[in-house]
Amino acid sequence: MSLRLGDIAPDFTADTTQGKINFHEWLGDSWGMLFSHPADFTPVCTTELGKTALLKGEFEKRGVKTIAVSVDDLESHNKWIPDIEEVNGVTMNFPIIADEDRKVAELYDMIHPNASAKATVRSVFIIGPDKTIKLMLTYPASTGRNFTELLRVIDSLQLTANHSVATPADWKDGDDAIVIPTISTEDAIKKFPKGVKEVKPYLRYTPQPNK
């Protein structure tokens, strides 16, 4: 059965470019981003891994550990890393899982036979400190991911996990949030001292609570 939002992220033990890990132990109390790549020495993946390394500080600021997975072996990963570093002007600073037996890819349903019988599609899983899956995104192998959007999504997930709000279309960190429908306007005014703006009885905005 395929994974759904709210499911516990499957645990596994695997070799990585930074040593052997148990996934849940490696995550600890952090948020995590697990993302897959069709294969080593592929052009789009080279740019994506470099971008993730460049954004390490942004992920750390949000308490997020990043880890990639590809169905190639550890030797292949280690040969590929110098290319990633050279092309992107960065030092690889997060692990790549060696998944030549496709154990992780199958646990997370990363191989879609209609797209490829062997290679993973570009899947992204954002996992909370409670080890549950908070977000899943799947791109075709031909389309590189938007890492600014992934950071934006993490900001929204972390805000809405801790406050009784949702985020509107195109929301970004610092924008007004939406009061969730289960809170009455009367209670919302007490709960959100920065103010509540009612557009419709079911659509109320409040300044971002954690700013």
Q: Indicate which residues carry an active-site annotation.
A: 45
**Under DSSP, is residue 75 helix (H, G, I), strand (E, B) or coil?**
helix
- State the Cα–Cα distance between residues 25 and 13, nearest whole angstrom: 10
- State the Cα–Cα distance between residues 50 and 68, nearest whole angstrom: 11
- State the Cα–Cα distance between residues 190 and 201, nearest whole angstrom: 16
For 88, what's the count of Cα atoms within 13 Å in the CB-facing half-sphere? 23
- State the Cα–Cα distance between residues 49 and 97, nearest whole angstrom: 13
Report the relative pairing of strands 203-206 and 177-179 from DSSP bridges: antiparallel
Q: Lay out the sheet containing 31-37: strands in order across.
A: 19-22, 13-16, 96-98, 64-70, 31-37, 122-127, 133-139
**Under DSSP, is residue 203 helix (H, G, I), strand (E, B) or coil?**
strand
Residue 193 identity: P
Q: Which helix (H) or strand (E) holds 33?
A: strand 31-37
